[in-house]
Each structure stands twice: as C-alpha cells, then as structure tokens.
C-alpha cells in the first residue's frame, strides 16, 4: 500500500466524518432530531449488515456476543448519539465538530481511571486544553441562537456516554469483524432508540421532504457507512498515524458550518480551534514517540 493512498483516504475520512453536524442541522429543519437519527441508524445498520453478510461473508454473532453487541449499541448509539442529536439541535454545527477533537482526550483519561492506572500528565494537560478551547469557541455564541446552556450540557453528556462506550468496546475480546460489530451495534442502537423516538414524536413537527431525505441518506450511508469503514481501515493499517486525521475534523467541520450554514467564525472561534488542535497534539505526542 502506498503512503499517498493512505493519506488520501485519511483526508477523505476527515472530510466526510466532519460533515455530520452540518448534515444533521440541515435535516433537523424538517424533522425532530430523534426522528432523523432513528432513520440514520436504521439505514446504517441495513447498509453495514448487507455489506458484511452478502459481500464479505461475515459470521453471525453467537451466545454472549449478542448481549455484548446490544450493550455497545445502547451506549454508543442510543445514549451517546441520541444525546448528540438533541444537543446539535441546540448548538452550532461548528461546536459539534469540536467534540470530535475532545472525544479522544476524554476517552484517554477515563480509560486510565477505569483501568486503575495513573493518568499521565500529558493526558490531563490535553484534556484541560481541549475543554478550554471549546469554552473559548463557545463564549461569543452563548448570547445568540447559536448555542444554549441546555445544548452544551447535552453535548457534555454525549461525550461522556461516547467515551464510556469506547471503554466498554475495548474491554471486550471481540472475534467478530469490525464491520459486523458496527452493523449490529447500529441495529441495536436504533432498536433501543425507537421507543424514545415514538414517545416524543409530534407529527406536526415533521415534514418528510427532500432536505430530510438527503440528510438522512448522507448521515446513514457516507458517514455511518463509508466514513466508519475508512476509519477502521486506517486504524488497522497504522493506528498512530490514523489518529492524526482527527486534527483535520474540527477544521473541516468549522469550514462546512461557515460556508454552508453561514455560522459566525470569529477570533474566539479561531482561538478555540487552535487550542483544541494543540490539545490533540499533546494528547498524541507520547504515542507518536513510542
């Protein structure tokens, strides 16, 4: 495999993955947040499971694997991304993109606590810097319709839930392929999310128009399908180098938000973005040295 191909696919992953917040904001103009994400993960599960079983001949889960997949889907999709859907309805898409940068930092610290090992100084510094960057970027948005305390609170809960899901995933000795795991966790996540979606469903707030359809398709197929597949491929090829593409996600995310949604990009935004990227660099520094 050529180095050029690796970096090209890495940039493609970052470009697609970073568009999630903007795509969600566009779809939520037409439908409720949970309705959009319900359809997203139903499409993702269908796409990934068809790819896994019809084309790649993956095997079905057995025994306790069903429970493990159900737990992972509950944490990662139903709770983490369900909360993210509600949060992104309340905050700017650019702030949602910053979460991509902060997530690995939170996971690093929480996984150390869960494993009972001492949290490294660079991990603490990176997390503090990451959170500081988010606060700096959010500050000028709190006085207008681009961010609300409720949305930021839900985004924080989503980050904790996502990190918990990642730690649970790492604690399980999986023998299924990553594609199969992702397909079933999307299925179980959508299944557990369905009662909540139906409970809060308001027919008058949903218009199943072209904006909804395009948003759901983009979230369900290129993002939950192609981008996840690219990420797993990058990780399996070179884990350390793959993590470097996370640096690009906030940049692309803010660019999409500015040019597509016309969200403000101020000196505070730029400063927060730079601080978050510095936090990512510090968090990955010792891994790259090793």
- Report, as an integer, the average pLDDT of 253-276: 85
Q: What is the mean pLDDT of the chain?
A: 85
Look at residue 66 in the predicted model and tell me its pLDDT.
97
- Give the span between the Cα atoms of 195 and 181, in whole angstroms: 23
Q: What is the pLDDT of residues 165-201, one digit of tens each?
A: 888 888 888 899 888 998 999 999 999 999 999 999 9
Phi, psi of 244 (to 5 degrees): -65, -25
The token pair that represents 229 in the structure block:
């597949």
- Give the span between the Cα atoms of 250 and 255, in whole angstroms: 8
Residue 39: pLDDT above 80? yes
Look at residue 145 in the predicted model and tell me its pLDDT.
63
Look at residue 61 in the predicted model and tell me its pLDDT.
93
Split at pLDDT 50, 70, 90, the class of 96 is confident
Residue 265: pLDDT above 90? no
* Torsion 22-25-27-29 (CA) sign: negative
Residue 78: pLDDT above 90? yes
pTM for the model stands at 0.85
Split at pLDDT 50, 70, 90, the class of 109 is confident
Look at residue 289 in the predicted model and tell me its pLDDT.
52
Q: Could you tell me which of 130, 138, 123 has the C-alpha nearest to residue 102? A: 130
| DSSP letter string, the chain | --HHHHHHHHHHHHHHHTTHHHHHHHHTTTS-HHHHHHHHHHHHHHHHHHIIIIIS-PPPP-THHHHHHHHHHIIIIIIIIHHHHHHHTTS-HHHHHHHHHHHHHHHHHHHHHHHTPPPPHHHHHHHHHHHHHHHHHHGGGTTTTT--HHHHHHHHHHHHHHHHHHHHHHHS---S-HHHHHHHHHHHHHHHHHHHHHHT--GGG----HHHHHHHHHIIIIIIIIIHHHHHHHHHH-HHHHHHGGGHHHHHHHHHHHHHS-----HHHHHHHHHHHHHHHHHHHHHHH-
Domain positions in the chain: 3-289
Look at residue 280 in the predicted model and tell me its pLDDT.
75
């Amino acid at each position: 495999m050529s180095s050029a191909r690796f970096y090209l696919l890495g940039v493609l992953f970052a470009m697609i993955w970073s568009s999630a917040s903007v795509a969600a904001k566009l779809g939520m103009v037409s439908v409720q947040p949970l309705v959009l994400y319900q359809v997203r993960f139903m499409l993702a599960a269908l796409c990934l499971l068809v790819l896994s079983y019809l084309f790649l001949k993956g095997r079905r889960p057995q025994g306790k694997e069903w429970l493990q997949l159900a737990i992972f889907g509950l944490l990662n999709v139903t709770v983490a991304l369900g909360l993210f859907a509600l949060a992104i309805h309340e905050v700017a898409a650019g702030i949602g993109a910053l979460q991509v940068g902060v997530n690995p930092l939170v996971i690093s610290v929480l996984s150390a606590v869960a494993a009972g090992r001492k949290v490294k100084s660079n991990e603490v510094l990176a997390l503090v810097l990451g959170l500081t960057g988010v606060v700096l970027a959010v500050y000028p948005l709190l006085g207008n319709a681009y961010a609300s305390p409720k949305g930021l609170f839900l985004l924080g809960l989503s980050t904790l839930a996502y990190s918990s899901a990642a730690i649970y995933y790492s604690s399980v000795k999986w023998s299924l392929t990553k594609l199969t795991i992702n397909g079933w966790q999307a299925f179980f996540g959508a299944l557990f999310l369905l009662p909540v979606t139906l409970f809060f469903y308001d027919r008058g707030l949903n218009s199943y128009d072209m904006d909804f359809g395009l948003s759901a398709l983009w979230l369900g197929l290129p993002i939950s399908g192609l981008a996840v597949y690219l990420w797993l491929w990058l990780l399996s090829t070179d884990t350390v180098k793959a993590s470097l593409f996370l640096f690009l996600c906030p940049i692309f995310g803010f660019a999409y938000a500015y040019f597509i949604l016309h969200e403000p990009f101020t000196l505070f935004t730029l400063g927060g973005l730079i601080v978050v990227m510095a936090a990512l660099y510090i968090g990955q520094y010792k891994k790259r040295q090793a």
